Amino acid sequence: MTALKGKHIVLGITGGIAAYKSAILARLFVKAGAEVQVVMTPAAREFITPVTMSALTDKPVITEFFTANTGEWHSHVDIGLWADAMVIAPATASTIAKMAHGVADNMLVTTYLSAKAPVFIAPAMDLDMFAHPSTTANLKTLAGYGNHIIEPAAGELASHLIGKGRMEEPEVIFSVIERFFGDTAELAGKHVLITAGPTYEKIDPVRFIGNYSTGKMGIALADAAAARGADVTVVAGPVDVKPTHPRVKVVKVESARQMLEKCEDLFDETSIAIFAAAVADYAPAEYADTKIKREHTQVPTLRLIKNPDIAKTLSSKKHPGQLTIGFALETDNEKVNAAEKLASKNLDLIVLNSLRDAGAGFGTDTNKVTILSPAGIIADTPLKSKREVAADIINAILKYDPFTH
């Protein structure tokens, strides 16, 4: 049984090369048990035929307000109300502009304006069109109305130019919608704070001390917590990965001190804090305002000072009901070291990654973890994707009741 079984999805298709991918998306929805009603703009028919789409969805495709030969009226209001979700993929710059400004000159935009259901928009266009301030402003307007924007990916475009504007792959769009319906509410109303990624400690305007953390684990945890109903804020160092869940907010910082400051601002209203960042242990004692030159008479010495321990600082201020969870990346005597860290940082749980396990740790897409409470091991995962491990960690947190341990 999938989260999409029996759901009514209006799939809006507009006139872009990526329209051929809508066939795959429709197929994924149908295979997951959803009913799909395709609404195409007139321009979309130049890119993919209504015959293909109606064969895949078992429903006539709607483009016009009337069927020409019978005079049958297609009610955009009825379709809008029938929908459990409306997905516009691909969404061209023109349709995005019309949606943002209520220019209801076709069936797709009128249906959008009548829809009560959540709306997902997957833009697809050339990089310059996507980067144009009018597109940016229109997407911001649409996001402000509560629509979910599925950001395009960067890659080769139909124009053969390389850049951002390529419609996200059908599988990704599908999983965003599937997850939306698969959400549960165990953490509804709760704020979850997550630190993620590396920190950069500035040496001079062009150099820093950093590490190879990518932030994948922290972002996966953020999506997993949001899927359980939480409102999540990720305080992230310099990372490229982005969350896909609309309830996740990312606050970008650079140094450990900035990370601590942001976390301190948010900690009071936080129910669960997960410290997944690879915080640099040391920062340069002095920052050189200008680039340190090579033509020094002596090789410069970098004097370091200790960074604040964010997990420890915040966990020492914990009030009853707040849970803090840390990570331990160990190479030897793993469980003993992790248990010591749990106690010394006043954490409720600690997630142990062993660097001895191939496929676990920095930069990989997979992980394998052991979760410890003060009473000992409470969960162990085999090697799996960071997304699956994230869901397991959130499950373990949900099951953990500190008063019974």
Known catalytic residues are 211
Q: Does 328 bind ligand C5P (CB under 6 A)?
A: yes
Q: Quick one: 228 or 341, whose CB is closer to ligand C5P?
A: 341
Q: CB–CB of 309/356 below 8 Å?
A: no
360 binds ligand C5P (CB under 6 A): no
**CB atoms < 10 A from the CB of 398, how many?**
14
Q: Cβ of 139: how many Cβ atoms within 10 Å?
A: 22
Classify 298 as helix, strand or coil.
Answer: coil
Taking CB atoms within 8 Å and a gap of at least 24, the contacts of 333-336 are: 334/370, 335/370, 335/372, 335/377
Q: Is 67 helix (H, G, I), strand (E, B) or coil?
A: coil
Q: Strand 162-166 to strand 207-209: parallel, antiparallel, or no bridges (unpaired)?
A: unpaired
The CB density around residue 329, as the number of other CB atoms within 10 Å, is 17
Give the interface segment with ligand C5P, choosing from 59-67, 203-211, 240-248, 321-329 (CB under 6 A): 321-329
- 310 in contact with ligand C5P (CB under 6 A): yes
**Smallest separation, CB 360 to ligand C5P (Å):** 15
Identify which range of 99-107, 179-187, 230-238, 275-283 contacts ligand C5P by CB under 6 A. 275-283
Q: What binding mask, one character per residue, do residues 170-209 give for ligand C5P by CB under 6 A, x or -? A: -------------------------x--------------
Nearer of residues 96 and 225 to ligand C5P, judged by Cβ: 225
Bridge partners for 372 per DSSP: 350, 377
Residues 6+ apart with CB under 8 A from 385: 365, 366, 367
Residue from 98, 148, 341, 387 touching ligand C5P (CB under 6 A): that is: 341
Name the 3-class secondary structure at 392: helix
Work out whether 44 is an interface residue with ligand C5P (CB under 6 A): no
Chain-centre distance for alpha carbon 354: 26
CB of 328 to ligand C5P, least distance (A): 5
DSSP annotation of 42: G
Between residues 112 and 275, which has the closer beta carbon with respect to ligand C5P? 275
Length of the chain (residues) = 405
Q: Min. distance of Cβ 389 from ligand C5P in angstroms?
A: 15
Per rule CB under 6 A, is residue 311 in the interface with ligand C5P?
yes
Contact with ligand C5P (CB under 6 A) among 84, 309, 348, 392 = 309
Residue 256 as a binder of ligand C5P (CB under 6 A): the answer is yes
Q: Does the protein bind ligand C5P through residue 393 (CB under 6 A)?
A: no
Nearest-angstrom CA–CA distance, 236 and 250: 7
* Residue whose CB is less far from ligand C5P, 80 or 215: 215
Asked if 99 touches ligand C5P (CB under 6 A), the answer is no
Which residue from 327, 353, 371, 372 is in contact with ligand C5P, where contact means CB under 6 A?
327
CB-hemisphere CA count at 13 Å for 194? 29
* Closest CB to ligand C5P among residues 130, 200: 200
Give the interface size with ligand C5P as a residue count (CB under 6 A): 14
Q: Provide the minimum distance between the beta carbon of 335 and ligand C5P in the complex, in angstroms, as a whole number.
A: 14
- Which range touches ligand C5P (CB under 6 A), out of 140-148, 154-162, 276-284, 391-399? 276-284
Which tokens in the block code for residue 75?
A: 């009610």
Q: Which of 307, 353, 367, 370 binds ligand C5P (CB under 6 A)?
A: 307
Whether 10 and 78 have beta carbons less than 8 Å apart is answered as no
Report helix, strand or coil for 212.
coil
Least distance (Å) between residue 312 CB and ligand C5P: 7
If you search the block for the tokens 């130019």, which residue do you land on? Answer: 161
Residues 5-24 that bind ligand C5P (CB under 6 A): none
Alpha-carbon distance of 146 to 52, in angstroms, equals: 31
Complex with ligand C5P: residue 130 or 327, whichever CB lies closer: 327
CA–CA gap between residue 379 and residue 275 (Å, rounded): 18
Q: What is the largest CA-CA distance in the chain?
A: 89
The three-class DSSP label of residue 396 is helix
Should residue 390 be labelled a site residue for ligand C5P when binding is judged by CB under 6 A?
Answer: no
Residue 79 or 256 having the CB closest to ligand C5P: 256
Binding site for ligand C5P (CB under 6 A): 195, 256, 275-277, 279, 307, 309-311, 326-328, 341
